[in-house]
Homo-oligomer: A and B are copies of this chain.
């Protein structure tokens, strides 16, 4: 290990550290000494007080720990357990780190502390005795909410199930309780308020006064997002982001087994290639550059580069001034693109199997989290097709269903969001599934690189996937012939110049034998939102970005 600074300046070869650094070190030392002196005084005061109260038999079993700065040995001294395994430790002493959900003194001799770790909570109790002092009981009963603790206690089975904790059958008899990191009082947001729904079934941005007969306020989205690091502590949020991580990992697990290569495509682009609308501009060393709206061009260029199956998870940026409950300006794209051997339905099959895999695994591996979230917002279970066969509905068939249900809509019109939701209800009725595919969209409402249908020039080899009547994926067979692609770009509304900046490299990459291919892109936050039936997509982004919000 290093010698202190003073020692090294005595040698000959090495230059001493700068005078400033030495001064600084000296200052630090003085400060540390002052601190130590203050602590000593504090201790003396306490001892005096204790002498007055009678000796504190528990004085080594509670208190505030010094700042953990890794001063001690790096070999772990205690074995700490996970609260989720508490049932394995009946009648045993356990030590664990946790935090304070709330603490209350029942009397001078009895205190309760609700302790939390991850999404588990346990009731801890301490009663004064000849081994546990009243001072310690008082300390435990007044420890501030959200402080981080290290607690040692005895796991005891209880007769009546405990209502206020997730651990119902056991309580903890506190033996030691140390505050490791103290939370300031008061908190700008109460975690227990963050556990409850938002006003207007989750669509309310502003706080709402408590309903009559309920003393608790309904906290709106703005307050929550402004205090997001506290808001995220709520069990419902821990569950949401556990599930989000799950979808992320399941996507990769499934596709990597299917021989997809994970790639990274650039997020800074020299030209606003995909149409040019809704892109953020970046100052790139004094020149204009743009943030990628999707990895579309690049994932196709990688197929042209002979990566037969590629996937990418990455941020997607949309400078769209939409202030709705399902738009973000920055979200997470789950993208894939693959060679087609004979028919673009090969891609649809991979995508359907992928989503069924994810849903089924969420139902098993993330059952606890899913149930926790849905219970707060009283959301129906997500219905999967019983046959295991995902309904594939031709677009015009969907239009027909809507017309029969009274909607005024034409065969080749784009559906509005309310119409999509309406169709979702009709599909659920008819097929008993919240997940389905619309196939063969009208060519005119799809991007220029979409392969036209060989059966009807007004249609295309493209599809969208839906959950609970809302779009989660858009995909298609792409045009892999440079001349046809350039042609379609010129004919597109609005037209795209196939020789434009950024576009030319894309079109040219199809001149050298690019195989037929197709793919699609999911929005990760939408999958999580609709799986859980949540009212607002911002709930599925840790630090959401919208036209009004770029902080925290």
Taking Cβ atoms with an 8 Å cutoff, the residues of A that contact B are 1-5, 8, 13-17, 21, 24-25, 28-29, 32, 67-74, 76-78, 80, 97, 99-100, 118, 144, 146-148, 180-184, 187, 228-230, 232-233, 237-238, 241-242, 244-245, 248-249, 252, 256, 261-271, 280-285, 287, 289, 291, 298, 301-302, 304-308, 313-315, 317, 319, 321, 329-330, 332, 339-346, 394-397, 403, 410-412, 440, 444, 451-459, 461, 477, 480-481, 484, 491, 501-502, 505-506, 508-509, 511-516, 524, 541-543, 545, 547, 550-552
A268 and B545 contacting across the interface, CB-CB below 8 Å:
yes
Given contacts A280-B283, A343-B70, A411-B14, contact A229 B304 (CB under 8 A): yes
Q: Is the interface of A mostly helix, strand, loop or mixed?
A: loop
B505 and A551 contacting across the interface, CB-CB below 8 Å:
yes
A301 and B552 contacting across the interface, CB-CB below 8 Å:
yes
How many copies of the shown chain assemble into the complex?
2
From the candidates B508, B514, B550, name the one contacting A284 in the complex (CB within 8 A): B550
In the assembled complex, the CB of A9 is this many whole angstroms from the nearest CB of chain B, namely 9
Q: How far is the CA of A202 from the CA of B245 in the complex (A)?
A: 39
From the candidates B2, B67, B252, B502, name the one contacting A249 in the complex (CB within 8 A): B252
Q: How far is the CA of A412 from the CA of B248 in the complex (A)?
A: 42
Q: List 25 A-B contacts (CB under 8 A).
A: A1-B455, A2-B397, A2-B455, A2-B458, A5-B456, A8-B396, A24-B491, A25-B458, A32-B457, A97-B339, A181-B480, A181-B515, A232-B302, A232-B307, A233-B305, A233-B306, A245-B256, A267-B267, A270-B551, A271-B551, A280-B283, A281-B282, A301-B543, A314-B314, A502-B551
In the assembled complex, the CB of A196 is this many whole angstroms from the nearest CB of chain B, namely 18
Given contacts A1-B455, A2-B394, contact A514 B181 (CB under 8 A): yes
A249 and B256 contacting across the interface, CB-CB below 8 Å:
yes
From the candidates B280, B440, B452, name the one contacting A268 in the complex (CB within 8 A): B280
Contacts of A502 in B (CB 8 A): 551-552
Given contacts A1-B455, A21-B444, A452-B69, contact A14 B403 (CB under 8 A): yes
B241 and A261 contacting across the interface, CB-CB below 8 Å:
yes
Closest to A502 in B: B551
B452 and A1 contacting across the interface, CB-CB below 8 Å:
no
A542 and B461 contacting across the interface, CB-CB below 8 Å:
no
Closest to A284 in B: B550
Q: How far is the CA of A551 from the CA of B284 in the complex (A)?
A: 12
A28 and B551 contacting across the interface, CB-CB below 8 Å:
no
B308 and A454 contacting across the interface, CB-CB below 8 Å:
no
Q: How far is the CA of A76 from the CA of B551 in the complex (A)?
A: 51
B314 and A232 contacting across the interface, CB-CB below 8 Å:
no
In the assembled complex, the CB of A112 is this many whole angstroms from the nearest CB of chain B, namely 19
Q: How far is the CA of A3 from the CA of B394 in the complex (A)?
A: 11
Q: How far is the CA of A74 from the CA of B347 in the complex (A)?
A: 11
Q: A32, A256, A305, A313 — which one has the most chain B CB atoms within 10 A of its CB?
A: A305
Contacts of A543 in B (CB 8 A): 265-266, 298, 301
Q: How far is the CA of A486 from the CA of B281 in the complex (A)?
A: 33
B550 and A269 contacting across the interface, CB-CB below 8 Å:
yes
Closest to A329 in B: B268
From the candidates B459, B477, B545, name the one contacting A266 in the complex (CB within 8 A): B545
B315 and A4 contacting across the interface, CB-CB below 8 Å:
no
Closest to A17 in B: B412
A550 and B270 contacting across the interface, CB-CB below 8 Å:
yes
Q: A71, A237, A238, A264 — which one has the most chain B CB atoms within 10 A of its CB?
A: A264
In the assembled complex, the CB of A422 is this many whole angstroms from the nearest CB of chain B, namely 17
From the candidates B16, B237, B248, B412, name the one contacting A262 in the complex (CB within 8 A): B248
B148 and A342 contacting across the interface, CB-CB below 8 Å:
no
A457 and B147 contacting across the interface, CB-CB below 8 Å:
no
A72 and B342 contacting across the interface, CB-CB below 8 Å:
yes
Contacts of A455 in B (CB 8 A): 1-2, 71
Closest to A266 in B: B543
From the candidates B181, B301, B410, name the one contacting A14 in the complex (CB within 8 A): B410
A24 and B457 contacting across the interface, CB-CB below 8 Å:
yes
B315 and A232 contacting across the interface, CB-CB below 8 Å:
no
A99 and B268 contacting across the interface, CB-CB below 8 Å:
no
Q: Could you list 7 further interchain pairs (A-B, Cβ under 8 angstroms) beyond the known A183-B513, A229-B304, A264-B542? A: A2-B456, A21-B412, A25-B458, A68-B516, A183-B511, A267-B317, A268-B329
Contacts of A319 in B (CB 8 A): 284-285
Contacts of A524 in B (CB 8 A): 264
Contacts of A332 in B (CB 8 A): 264
Given contacts A183-B512, A282-B291, contact A315 B317 (CB under 8 A): no
Given contacts A308-B118, A457-B24, contact A180 B343 (CB under 8 A): no
A232 and B305 contacting across the interface, CB-CB below 8 Å:
yes
Contacts of A180 in B (CB 8 A): 515-516
B394 and A1 contacting across the interface, CB-CB below 8 Å:
yes
Q: A71, A147, A232, A411 — which one has the most chain B CB atoms within 10 A of its CB?
A: A411
Given contacts A21-B444, A71-B454, A551-B270, contact A513 B181 (CB under 8 A): yes
B330 and A148 contacting across the interface, CB-CB below 8 Å:
no
A245 and B268 contacting across the interface, CB-CB below 8 Å:
no
Contacts of A298 in B (CB 8 A): 542-543
